[in-house]
Structure 1
Amino acid sequence: MPVLTVSVYEAVKAMVMDHVIQPGARVGIEAVSRSLGVSATPVREALARLESDGLVVKRSLSGYRATELLTRQGVEELFEMRLLLEPRAAALAAEHVGEAALDRIEAVVEEMQGLPDKGHSYAEYGRFAVLDQRFHDALAAASGRTMLAAAVERLHTHLHLFRLSPVSGGSPATVMEHGRILRAVLRRSPERASEAMREHLESSLRRHRDRYAEGGA
């Protein structure tokens, strides 16, 4: 993918994640092009990719709009789906993961451990969000179940949750919980891997519930 296309994609994604483009707002291709100093073509390519990420939606006649934020019910349903899929994926990964895949998962955990505390803008927490998603997607891929891995990836979980609130991700807790999952996979223990993933997801859901209790949207 051309460098310009990637940079425009990241720039527009940051606008959506940071609510510079408000949830539900129309995304004007010409306005975005002017603000970034680029032609309309890479903006259109970026929006097509963001549509596949679930961050914008294309509607006939009105063009692209930023998707609405997840509601509290939407968060509950998202975690309900994750709890059905990801503990099973972790258990299967403990059974089937190859050395190359294991090296990639370990590298993700190590990089997350070395990141500074994330801030409130996408520029500050973007790398953490990418690695968080990569960890879960890599584990699902290591399960050896193509449809299961595709289902986990299609949820685009971390983009939607970090868009709600970057501080609710709980960086130190998340990194620690990922480490527990990794250790269970390294021990080739499906039961421990499944349990560690379930505990991680339940803890993450509690953090998001706490955010709503504190007056979040």
Structure 2
Amino acid sequence: MRAIEKAESAFEAIERSILNGSTPPGAPLRVATLSKALNISATPVREALARLEEKRLAVAGENCGWRVAPVSLAELEDLEDARLSIEERLLEDSITHGDIEWESNLIAAHHRLMRTPQPIGSNTIEDRERWAIAHDGFHKSLLAAGRSSWLKSFHDTTLLQLNRHHQALLFHPAVINPKGPDNHSSETLEALKRALAPEHHGLLMQAALDRDQKVAKRLLREHVEIALASYKSILE
């Protein structure tokens, strides 16, 4: 394997562990440990970590070490605000210009989401990844008829960063609130189940298919507000 391929392989493996929550926010990313786990030398690992820092998934610390980028309520609120600004524009455009192919793909994406078990309560990485793919796939299908490639690119970047926060929200409450319990309270669990529920996504899909921009945008905002409320409940 060439050096560039080793660096790419290391990048993909570490990025995946961050985005699926198996390496939580704030966790150290030690070059020696990663080199041993990935069975490659330190140089491609350092190159991978530098790329992850550029993507804001990792942060450099003292003595040239790295950690997974931390999460915070302030950053989550900033990301969700950016997400809404982008998604509302794309949603309006999708509803205006979406054709029968867009409608069919949206219905299929919602069906896939409905048939994918929620990751709450599962310790299986594959279950987490399967649900994240179905969930993000639904939202991308919802916006697919939007015509701005730049907004879609910004949306992909926002989803990437939100994924980090959502994994912490679902599986690492102690990272969000080190003074709190390791497990979710019953109130937080209920809020999370509402946020992940396919029924709410179904209402959003139907509003889009009905070409009702006002209702669709209201449901989109509610979707974001539930996630923020869940995060805040962990801090209380």
Task: Calculate the TM-score normalised by the size of structure 1.
Answer: 0.74
- 1:74-117 C-alpha deviation (Å, 9 max, x unpaired): 22222222233323322221111233343333332211111223
Identity of aligned residues (%): 23
The aligned residue for residue 234 of structure 2 is 211
Q: Does 1:152 align with 2:155?
A: yes
Q: Which amino acid aligns with 2:116?
A: L
> C-alpha separation between the residues in 1 aligned to 2:216 and 2:125?
30
> C-alpha separation between the residues in 2 aligned to 1:106 and 1:44?
43
Q: Which amino acid aligns with 1:32?
A: L
Q: Which amino acid aligns with 1:196?
A: L
Structure 2 gaps of 5+ residues are: 172-188
Contact 1:58 1:64 in 2 (8 A): yes
- 1:6-63 C-alpha deviation (Å, 9 max, x unpaired): 79724652257536466162x2344213213456687567657645653224689826
Structure 1 residues 105 and 211: alpha-carbon distance in aligned structure 2, compared to 1, 3 A threshold: farther
Q: Which amino acid aligns with 2:226?
A: S
Shift, 1:140, TM fit:
3.3
Contact 2:25 2:168 in 1 (8 A): no
Contact 1:129 1:162 in 2 (8 A): no
Larger Rg: 2
Contact 1:94 1:193 in 2 (8 A): no
Contact 1:89 1:140 in 2 (8 A): yes
Aligned length: 210
Residues 172-187 of structure 1: matches in 2 within 5 Å? 173-174=195-196, 175-187=198-210
> C-alpha separation between the residues in 1 aligned to 2:13 and 2:108?
23
Corresponding residue SS for 2:153: helix
Task: Pick from 213, 219, 223 the counterpart of residue 200 of structure 1.
Answer: 223
Task: Pick from 66, 69, 73 the counterpart of residue 67 of structure 1.
Answer: 69
Contact 1:92 1:190 in 2 (8 A): no
The aligned residue for residue 100 of structure 1 is 101
Residues 25-104 of structure 1: matches in 2 within 5 Å? 25=28, 27-38=29-40, 47=49, 50-51=52-53, 54-57=56-59, 62=64, 64-69=66-71, 71-104=72-105
Q: Which amino acid aligns with 1:35?
A: A
Structure 1 gaps of 5+ residues are: none
- 1:113-132 C-alpha deviation (Å, 9 max, x unpaired): 11223125544312212322
Q: Does 1:170 align with 2:188?
A: no
Contact 1:106 1:182 in 2 (8 A): yes
